[in-house]
Amino acid sequence: MKRKVLGFGIIGCGTISNWHANAVLRVKGIQLTGVTDVNKEAREEFSKKFGTRVYVSVEDMMTDENIDDVCICTQSGLHAPLAIMTANAGKHVITEKPMAISLEEADSMINASKKNNVKMAVISQLRFSDAVLRLKDAVSGSLLGRLVTSDVYMKYYRLQGLGHHPDM
């Protein structure tokens, strides 16, 4: 018999993981099942705060049949390999942006999700903001003419070192 509650796991216990955990806790039919991080203290603290199981490794989390979906909240350079591992384990994937750090990685993520018949989503929390919707309408309505190239400059606070993982 299929469970009625979806189990969510979170990989990475940085600042953004708290947003994901709180979002999961607000949705009926979803349970925050577990968390893992390479930093033992971070995963233990997160587990205590949210009352969830701790996995000592990503591989350990992937073997748990109670995990249906995984939120990847790590540094950008780890998104692709973790998403592919998650999809290959038959679990749905939600990853923070950027999806990947190369087109080849993004294609591999898409292929892994298709091959394993799982869903994959990338967080883009500004997608429905007024400014983005107005810009989309302007482009769709040809208000800006025929676009041949574009460039976006958006100010964000971001900790240093969140790019490519040095071991990859």
pLDDT for res 159: 57
Q: What is the CATH number of the domain that holds 23?
A: 3.40.50.720
Cβ density class 114-148: b for 16+ within 10 Å, e for less: eebebebebbeeeeeeeeeeeeeeeeeeeeeeeee
pLDDT per residue as tens digits for the range 111-130:
999 999 999 999 987 777 88
Q: How confident is the model at residue 157 (pLDDT cuts 50, 70, 90)?
A: low
Share of the chain above pLDDT 90, in %: 65
Q: How confident is the model at residue 165 (pLDDT cuts 50, 70, 90)?
A: very low
Number of domains in the chain: 1
Q: Which two tokens stand for residue 111?
A: 């292929």
pLDDT at 40 over 60: yes
Average pLDDT of the chain?
Answer: 88
Global confidence as pTM: 0.78
pLDDT at 166 over 60: no
Taking the C-alpha atoms of residue 77 and residue 137, their distance in angstroms, rounded to an integer, is 33
Query: Average pLDDT in the 33-53 region?
Result: 95
pLDDT for res 132: 81
Query: Average pLDDT in the 20-48 region?
Result: 94
Q: Which two tokens stand for residue 91?
A: 């679990």
Taking the C-alpha atoms of residue 99 and residue 78, their distance in angstroms, rounded to an integer, is 10
pLDDT at 164 over 70: no
Between these two residues, 124 and 88, which has the higher pLDDT value?
Answer: 88
Asked whether the bond before 81 is cis by omega within 30 degrees of 0, the reply is: no
pLDDT for res 110: 97
pLDDT at 145 over 90: no
pLDDT at 72 over 70: yes
Residues spanned by the domain of 3: 1-168
